[in-house]
Amino acid sequence: MIDFRTNPNKYRHWSVDYDGSTATLTMDIAEDGGLVPGYELKLNSYDLGVDIELYDAIQRLRFEHPEVKSVIVTSAKEKVFCSGANISMLGQSTHHHKVNFCKFTNETRNSIEDASENSGQKYFSAVNGTAAGGGYELALATDHIILVDDGTSAVSLPEVPLLAVLPGTGGLTRVVDKRYVRRDHADFFCTINEGIKGKRAVSWKLVDEIVPLSKLMDVAKERADEWAAKSDRPSDAKGVEFTEVSRTIKGDEVSYDTVSIKIDRTNRTAEITAHAPTENVPSDIATIEAQGVKYWPLAFARDMDDAILHLRANEIEIGTWVFKTSGDADKVESADQSLLDNASHWLVRETTLFIKRVFKRIDVTSRSLITVVDPGSCFTGTFLEFLLVADRSFMLDGTYEGDNRPAPTVRPTGMNFGPLEMCNGLTRLQTRFLDTPEKVEEIADEKGNDIDAAGADEFGLVTFIPDDLDWDDEVRIAIEERASFSPDACTGMEASLRWAGPETMETKIFGRLSAWQNWIFQRPNAVGADGALKLFGTGKQATYDLKRV
């Protein structure tokens, strides 16, 4: 089983050093530290285990160290920054592992960019040697790239000529959409093995500056200090220690403090229930800070994040996720109010951004998403996003026969109207009502009000509102029907439907990733017996099917 929970005491590949407002994140990847046997992580090449540590480090930099305003990413290896994803690992991995690996590395790099855009914490790459493939893609995720000028060090994206695949972590998109490299320059750059170095790398906008090795870290620190003077992160606040997320696995049930999962292997379904807080969530900052990781919105974000990653990596045949909620709607609203009332406080801001990233992680997950609203549920505010994230939803109209619980309702709060945007830069409500923005305003007028099934149907918040007579059959048929479809077809369909509206760098990266991974990564030119990915490092020449299709 792949476990995404780690901490700095367990790191084998990364170290973090702190110097006032600047942290230095250094990769020194252990060759014998692969996640599974069968390959060596030479030349700072990485696998999923390396990125699990990186993601953990990024989260800790945001939450445990509010004083850190700049992060320098560099390497401890001489003349090597990072050579990218380990090719032997890719060659021996199953298709689903390669896909999950690339998706997670993308999300990790997006979290770097999220910190830069929203948290006042900028990232700088001190590229002390060759940065190839995923190594250069890591640098691309940072705000400023400084390349050592030693006559040999270069940046490159050599996947097309070497491996017959494409860069897997947004490299092609970031080169032209983030760094604004000219198309003809980018075309040349992406079809050469050796990459580009020195002045040409600067003039083509592939890096921001070149400096001698002797000055590399001094210049990086100078750039970091320049940014730190502008950042709004507090210099004297106390961070929140990230203790290990509590998780219990018993058979087909997984339990966290705020989330629980029940797996039905017959229908290949995971029922994921988010549990409301048991007490009102405080809105005074002193109490929030004192609660630390027990602050309910933060605890929920951490639990749900781990639950998603666990299911994605370890339950690959569980193709449908059914979202439910339980508890007191007023308690969920108190949590939302706590976030909204203190939005400018660094810890609350980070918590809200974390929740936003968690729902984005659900958006890009290749699983069918169904949400069920029945008595005892509390689809309020943040939890209402489970209704909006779904591919399809069902809300009981009325009550169950013989059940004395009241009919279910849903309740919007301010969290549904801005803080939790999707990858397309819109809220899920805005995305749902692209052609009728007035609908969003009508729903906004209902903030704090309970909406019954008929009202939710009229507002367009749910797909179907069966009564007690039809409820069991309609929900059952939807789940069983989904289990009968081709998982490949569902993945393509869902990815095509989820992000209506404007295209952003994020939607491009994930949309194109889904397309090329599920095609190019399975083509014989790449992974066949004589494919480039299989023969890499053997000295043999790949044999290509030369037809364009």
CA–CA dist 232, 228 (Å, integer) = 8
What tokens does 127 get?
Answer: 């590229």
CA–CA dist 233, 210 (Å, integer) = 29
| Tens-digit pLDDT profile for residues 239-256 | 999 999 999 999 999 999
Per-residue confidence (pLDDT) for residue 537, from 0 to 100: 86
Measuring CA to CA, which residue among 159, 164, 157 is closest to residue 185? Answer: 157
- Helices and strands, counts by H and E, the chain: 22, 20
Per-residue confidence (pLDDT) for residue 49, from 0 to 100: 98
Per-residue confidence (pLDDT) for residue 138, from 0 to 100: 98
CA–CA dist 89, 125 (Å, integer) = 25
Q: Report CA 369 to chain centroid distance, whole Å.
A: 17
Per-residue confidence (pLDDT) for residue 146, from 0 to 100: 98
Per-residue confidence (pLDDT) for residue 57, from 0 to 100: 98
Binning pLDDT at 50, 70 and 90, where does residue 413 land?
very high
Per-residue confidence (pLDDT) for residue 521, from 0 to 100: 83
CA–CA dist 545, 537 (Å, integer) = 20
What's the rounded mean pLDDT across residues 527-539?
A: 89
Binning pLDDT at 50, 70 and 90, where does residue 181 land?
very high
Helices (H), 75-230: 87-92, 95-118, 134-140, 159-163, 171-177, 183-189, 198-203, 216-228
CA–CA dist 320, 483 (Å, integer) = 7
- Collapse the DSSP code of 280 into the 3-class scheme (helix H, G, I; strand E, B; otherwise coil) and give the result: coil
Q: Inform me whether the pLDDT recorded for 518 exceeds 80.
A: no
Per-residue confidence (pLDDT) for residue 450, from 0 to 100: 98
Choose the weakest-confidence range: 47-51, 318-322, 506-510: 506-510
User: Which amino acid appears at position 489 of this protein?
Assistant: A
Binning pLDDT at 50, 70 and 90, where does residue 512 land?
confident
Non-local (6+) Cβ contacts of 92 within 8 A are 38, 39
User: Which amino acid appears at position 220 of this protein?
Assistant: A
Per-residue confidence (pLDDT) for residue 322, from 0 to 100: 98
What tokens does 129 get?
Answer: 């040697």
Average pLDDT, the chain: 96
Per-residue confidence (pLDDT) for residue 548, from 0 to 100: 86
What tokens does 471 get?
Answer: 């409820």
What tokens does 307 get?
Answer: 């639950």
Cβ-contact 531, 542 below 8 angstroms: yes
Segments of 396-534 assigned E as strands? 410-411
What's the maximum distance between 2 C-alpha atoms anywhere in the chain? 79
Cβ-contact 140, 175 below 8 angstroms: yes
Q: In what order do the strands lie in the sheet with 320-326?
A: 248-250, 253-255, 259-264, 269-275, 320-326, 368-373, 392-395
CA–CA dist 40, 34 (Å, integer) = 7
Question: Domains of the chain (ranges plus CATH)?
Answer: 8-228 (3.90.226.10), 248-497 (3.90.226.10)
What's the rounded mean pLDDT across residues 497-515?
A: 89
What tokens does 384 get?
Answer: 């209402």
Which DSSP category does 277 fall into?
P
Give me the half-sphere count of Cα atoms (radius 13 Å) on the Cβ side of residue 502.
10
Binning pLDDT at 50, 70 and 90, where does residue 351 land?
very high
b vs e for 208-246, b when ≥16 Cβ sit within 10 Å of the residue's Cβ? Answer: bebbeeeebbebbbebbeebbeebebeeeeebbebeebe
Per-residue confidence (pLDDT) for residue 226, from 0 to 100: 97
Which DSSP category does 143 fall into?
S
Segments of 197-304 assigned E as strands? 209-211, 248-250, 253-255, 259-264, 269-275
Q: Inform me whether the pLDDT recorded for 466 exceeds 80.
A: yes
Percent of the chain with pLDDT over 90: 92
Q: How many CB atoms lie within 10 A of CB 441?
A: 12
Binning pLDDT at 50, 70 and 90, where does residue 533 land?
confident
Of the ranges 453-457, 511-515, 541-545, the best mean pLDDT one:
453-457
Q: If 0-12 CB within 10 Å is exposed, 13-18 middle and 19+ buried, where does residue 299 land? A: buried
Binning pLDDT at 50, 70 and 90, where does residue 432 land?
very high
Per-residue confidence (pLDDT) for residue 517, from 0 to 100: 76
CA distances from 532 to 131, 528, 542 (A): 21, 8, 5
What's the rounded mean pLDDT across residues 33-37?
A: 96
Q: Inform me whether the pLDDT recorded for 158 exceeds 80.
A: yes
Measuring CA to CA, which residue among 102, 85, 215 is closest to residue 169? Answer: 102
- Collapse the DSSP code of 156 into the 3-class scheme (helix H, G, I; strand E, B; otherwise coil) and give the result: strand
Backbone angles phi, psi at 24, to 5 degrees: -115, 120
Q: Count of residues for the chain?
A: 549
Q: If 0-12 CB within 10 Å is exposed, 13-18 middle and 19+ buried, where does residue 283 land? A: middle
| Tens-digit pLDDT profile for residues 103-147 | 999 999 999 999 999 999 999 999 999 999 999 999 999 999 999
Q: In what order do the strands lie in the sheet with 155-156?
A: 79-82, 129-132, 155-156
- Collapse the DSSP code of 374 into the 3-class scheme (helix H, G, I; strand E, B; otherwise coil) and give the result: coil
Segments of 1-154 assigned E as strands? 14-19, 22-27, 45-46, 70-75, 79-82, 84-85, 122-127, 129-132, 144-148
